[in-house]
Structure 1
């Protein structure tokens, strides 16, 4: 037996233990064998870190109550024993190896996992702890559930199963009440408890059951040279396995018992078959296995006797039973833990990268459960990437140095704003990753205007916290970003509106519709598409609409430029609502002003898109230089304007026609690119500009409070603001501020429950906002959310700073306007 055990351990199977009867009283033999097995199976966390044999530990404690020196124990003494059990009780068994001290002491704590919250108070309130443990702790409850069904009769040779609450069993074992358990009942209880512990340790229930990590089943080697303990143990295991559980199907246990000795199998179970002849046990095993499967549950025979051959079999003999030996390779589920760890190490940074979060930041939310996908990573072009969606205060993949540190100033102000319990939150939805220098300049100026307006709100009753959302280059992901804003607004009722909205594209219209469906107001700063007004009843804009710009341009072309013919060029991109609307409005309004349309064509944006080459249109536009009364109207985007001029330069031979461009071209002029085209005669409309105060920067700073604050925060006030983006976003946030003030003036509770919708409707007549880009009065019945007679300017490009050629519209905050163009 010892050689067999040693050979088995050399293969690495640590679940094989050997025990033999000791020289103790007969009634303690089974308990000593099981205690030795439990100590070796469970001691040292052999079957799993932190796991023990709590069921056997409690059953063994019950058995000790029956072995006390006095005939009976009082109930108080039983409770005292409980305290001793939880604190210092030890199991004893005799080891088989020769040692000076053959009594190996095994503290109960090494094989039991009773929780500390039961152990700690046990010595103080033992009776209460007993009832608590009996109610909520698993091993105690097991004693009530074991045993056969009440409806099935028990055989005469089968002991009545011991079951009931732990306290009831303890009083019965101590002789306080009820009939004392028999030796056969105690043996069955002890065996059942150990099998239950092994069953749980080897459980394969669920995907990650502890037993899925086991390479072999536990093997118990018994020596049967003398004594009745081994026979009694085998009978107890047989009785337990053949007993019916209280509910559920038959519960298998993983233990394999190998008993070697002169005892006959019939001494344990009279129904056991005869010993198989020495040699191959294949036939005997197959017959026994078939009988085990076919026999009724209570008639199963668990013993298979073999005669051990006196000499080893020949090397040519191969037994089919060998195929059923414990697996020698680790099952695939053993790699689940390592696989999950590796997957987590890889998945966390990968998912964080895709969701634009810090590398080791979790991408899932515990409550409410969900994925933290407020931002996603998308292509920007030229192998670049951009993070689109709701960025919060610190947008990833955005170069804050390019933006002049304005994001840091917004974060600093946010930290002050949140200290006020009445603060509200506004989201700025724009293009934070434009992918070109002109776009970066626009984004920087927009944020600067917001930062100034936010700082002013600190002195108001409802200061504004600013969050940023990136719609991607050309507003391509505006609808997705709007959806993330809506989701955040449902979680945070302080979000009262959205400002910015970047460009007038179809994606912007979709975003405004989505915000409107959620009842979230939006205020466009530089958006001018008339379609946006119809997209949502909660949409307002700071800039004049495209139709009004076309009316103004037609009047300027006729009266100031004395034009009688015009060539109109625009973007043929069907998603560019801004350019399409302007070109259509120009085609309608120029003839009304007495200007004939001599050419009306769109340039293609992509190779497969509709329209003509933008360079070809530039060359064709040179024909206007031959007629002094003909002008070129460019209603396209600034990104294509330089290509348009390049084509014109090749054909015009530095004899450029007069060009009247729409407001988007201001980005091209302010970048200084117009200096590459000497002799270019360019005038362009703009929605706001510091040129309104004149070309003298010092005078501008003295005359406007906005520029005083701008220069104090960022410097270069008038030089940076010829395109007016900061002015427009400042006014957009001023509309939100005024709406909040209107609501607070009536009822502060309304601001919390209904937001600023009612306050926006009051910005009309005497309640208008005197903005730095012009008056904001939403009293027009035909276009109630577009400012009435909003200021429009025409700037003329020169070798230096652009100068103001004309201004029209209401501008009550600026009584003096400098028209300094020659």
Structure 2
């Protein structure tokens, strides 16, 4: 039975049975009604009746036994009439007899495991066995007869003719040989789907069944005489476990068997007159132990009525607190059952007189099992088939959509999750995001997929000599609300463009350059705010098993708890992650294979404070943070660590730290002379500017913004409609890769940046080309960061390939010669020699850290946000562009 993973709550009124009785009956009605989906855990209810509380057991018998039609399956036992506490088999036998009756208005409960165990306990092998037979042979014969083999006394078919002889042989085969062979196969436990109940006995845990090797040996140990050498408690637990297993199977729900859904009420066992150290108390204790030790739930509700609480849990709760007691028990159950507490399943309630005796003139209704779903009834089997077909169609509609479906070509695996197409693709047969206005995002995917085919062709023509690797881009490619003319995925599109640029550069290598790698890119979508990244990683795990060329992941665009969880999963899978823009502090703690291309938030906070103090000559600061739609500060690691860094850097000079939400006014900041810092998500920055527009001619003097605002500034459509003409200074992680900086680098013969500029200007790569001398859009800072991340992995693979085949340069490349962890180690080895000379600045890592050291970051300023044509101006920076580390910060 499926275990609920969340805390149980009382069902709404429409799911409760109208009882009209006292609180005890209302509680039982709620517990006995089976949910339409899943199953609830059922406690062992121990009712302590107070003096004068009335005939509790009698009321319960009437409650469950007087209904007409569909009744709750129930058994009533009075163990007080059974002296001693060692008669568990007899109690279970009576319980089995009562629950097996076809008297509850539905198909009777069928038992297979318990009757076999009980039957074995009644077999005696020491007496009554022929001298020529062994005890094992007698047991085999009886077991075979129990399966329904023809009695040995039945007269055989005789005949003088050949036909009679043939018929006799045929009947012998049908009645003796075939059943005997089937029985032998069944008890062997080696053939699936045959003899499952025999196999169950060998897989359960009581009486050490593995010591018997075969089921027949185990069965022999249960027979009279042989059983004397076993522990009685273990025998009792085996019987009880078998009984509960039959109930579990009877209450399974299988979609191909509508009858399974007709069981709408749990069976209940009523134990009256239970006293400590009697068989009733022993049964309750054994139920608790079996549930703990097997780790299995079962559908049996036990109600024990006693005059005193059990010694395992002497504390009692009043019946009026039953709901609260049940919820507390359900919440604590996973821990208490793991610790195998003696009272893990017990809920002890104290009954007062009013809890049992109905009010004057009120007669409680009998508890009737709810009607089953209409589709599970016995009429119209064809309707069931139709429902299944419709359900299959609905499932396919939820799983896929016209723009989210498996492709017959390429590596594509996708699934609809909360209306978003989550998964991965390396083929134009599946493009992520069909929203209006996202043509450039789809265009770069087409470019990557076309270059994938080109890389495969070049690799084939090189006779597989060139190193070949696959990188996955994992980002948020769906989920934003957009206008039809608004490009809302600029950052993700830029990162894909950076990877496409790296792929393009490798394709331009000479055909004879066997040491130059080829790059294959898989595009993966983790959904809005990376909420479904875990689902995407699960799909990528299968891809990593099947494709030995898959060596790493680039992307993960937002630092959130869902992103951290995805990092942990990728670390478990063994895939390195190179994150172009993630900057939350300590993200590397989630993966030993994580490398960050951008400076951490602690560096960003340090730069903002230094700029305010050194350049603006102000010390006081007001900070407002946002976390985005449907998120919180605890979930948003980027914002929370940035706020912590600002609080630490400014200290007492931080005179206001507050959360800003859409619609909140900011008139208190009008004319503020200190620094006003926006430490939030770019999606709220437009509303933040609108709130400051109220200041009119008296705006705050110094508005600083974090690097998330770079996503806003990179979106011409958003900037053009920005409210007001406020100047904004914001953080940039790649100021060295702006068009102006790249042109200056090319003029001074900076080969790495000059070559990168040539690629992004090419006519056959990005749409449109970037940084043209005459016109054209800017390159976008995330292009260079994703390019650097991809090329770091490529250069590491090329270095490993050169060492692996340095004596035989013409050898074919074997993808399994390297693994993802090895490539990650090679990245760090190369980095230790002086850092990687990236386009966005040199990248260095400290030992045992995935965060770069003294990575170049800058502050860019725009005089007016809506002025899209004006290129931002660098006013301040920290870190070094090239060469040795330079942690100092200075004006540009």
Q: Does residue 1:423 correspond to 2:468, yes or no?
A: yes
More off after superposition, 740-749 vs 401-410: 740-749
CA RMSD of aligned residues (A): 4.1
**Structure 1 residues 656 and 722, CA gap change in structure 2 (3 angstroms):** farther
Q: Structure 1, residues 475-519: CA drift from partner, whole Å, max 9, x if none?
A: 111222222222321232322111111111111111111111222
Conserved 8 A contact 1:618-1:646: no
Quote the offset at 1:653 in angstroms.
Answer: 4.8
Query: Could you say what secondary structure the match of 1:704 adopts?
Result: helix
Which residue, 492, 509, 512 being the options, matches 2:564?
A: 509
Matched position secondary structure for 1:764: helix
Residue in 2 that maps onto 1:433: 478
Contact 1:774 1:813 in 2 (8 A): no
TM-score by length of 1: 0.53
Give the CA deviation at 1:397. 4.9
Distance 1:243 1:717 in 2: 84
Q: Is the 8 A contact 1:565 1:598 kept in 2?
A: yes
**What's the secondary structure of 1:801's corresponding residue?**
coil
Instruction: Show CA shifts across 1:674-703 (max 9, x none).
Output: 554444021101111476452898998997
8 Å contact 1:353–1:359 — kept in the other structure? Answer: no
| Partner deviation per Cα, 1:421-473 (whole Å, 9 max, x = no partner) | 44221111111114144642112111111111112234454322111111111
CA contact (8 A) 2:158 2:164 kept: no
Alignment of 1:171-320 (within 5 A): 182=161, 185-186=162-163, 245-248=175-178
Show structure 2 runs of 5+ residues with no match.
1-148, 181-376, 510-514, 806-815, 885-890
Is 1:683 the equivalent of 2:729?
Answer: yes
- What SS is found at the alignment partner of 2:818? helix
- Cα separation, 2, equivalents of 1:409 and 1:813: 35
> 1:666/1:249 Cα in 2 relative to 1: closer, same or farther (>3 Å)?
closer
Taking a change above 3 Å as real, the CA distance of residues 614 and 597 of structure 1, as seen in their structure-2 partners, is: farther
| Separation in 1, partners of 2:473, 2:883 | 25
Residue number in structure 2 paired with 1:717 = 770
Aligned counterparts of 2:783 and 2:703: Cα–Cα separation in 1: 26
CA contact (8 A) 1:348 1:360 kept: no
- Match for residue 496 of structure 2? 447
Residue 390 of structure 1: aligned partner? 424
Aligned positions, number: 486
Contact 2:796–2:826 (CA under 8 A) maintained in structure 1: yes
Instruction: State the match for 2:649 in structure 1.
Output: 589
Give the deviation of 1:705 after TM superposition: 2.1
The aligned runs of 1:414-563 (5 Å cut-off) are 414-419=452-457, 420=459, 421=464, 422-435=467-480, 436=482, 437=486, 439-458=488-507, 459=509, 461-563=516-618
1:343, distance to aligned residue in structure 2 (A):
6.8
Give the TM-score of the pair, scaled to structure 2: 0.49
**Are 2:737 and 2:840, in contact at CA under 8 Å, matched by a contact in 1?**
no
Write out per-residue CA displacement over residues 393-430 of structure 1, whole angstroms, 9 at most, x where no aligned residue: 45455237241511111112212333534422111111
The 1:700–1:504 alpha-carbon spacing in structure 2 relative to 1, beyond 3 Å, is: farther
Aligned to 2:786, which of 726, 729, 733?
729
Q: Is the 8 A contact 1:688 1:725 kept in 2?
A: yes
CA change 1:709–1:691 in 2 (3 A) is closer
Deviation of 1:568 (Å): 1.0
In the other structure, the counterpart of 2:640 is 580
Counterpart for residue 809 of structure 1: 879
Distance in 1, matches of 2:609 and 2:828, equals: 31
Which residue number corresponds to residue 315 of structure 1? none
Q: Match of 1:655, SS?
A: coil
Q: Distance in 1 between matches of 2:799 and 2:617?
A: 46
In 2, Cα distance between equivalents of 1:243 and 1:796 = 94
Gaps of 5+ in 1: 1-147, 161-181, 193-235, 251-331, 365-371, 380-384, 604-612, 815-820
Contact in 2 for aligned 1:656/1:681 (Cα 8 Å):
no
How many angstroms apart in 1 are the aligned matches of 2:454 and 2:444? Answer: 16
Q: Secondary structure at the match of 1:775?
A: strand
Is this contact kept in 2: 1:795–1:805, CA < 8 A? yes
Per-residue CA distance 1:713-740 (angstroms, 9 max, x = gap): 1234135446411111111111211221
> Contact conserved, 2:862 with 2:873, CA < 8 A, in 1?
yes
Is 1:663 the counterpart of 2:707 in the alignment? yes
Q: Which has the larger radius of gyration?
A: 1
Q: CA deviation at 1:651?
A: 3.9
Query: Alpha carbons of 1:484 and 1:797: their partners in 2 closer, same or farther (altered >3 Å)?
Result: same
Deviation of the 1:567 alpha carbon? 0.6
The verdict on how the C-alpha distance between 1:596 and 1:450 changes in structure 2, with shifts beyond 3 A counting, is same
Contact 1:769 1:777 in 2 (8 A): yes
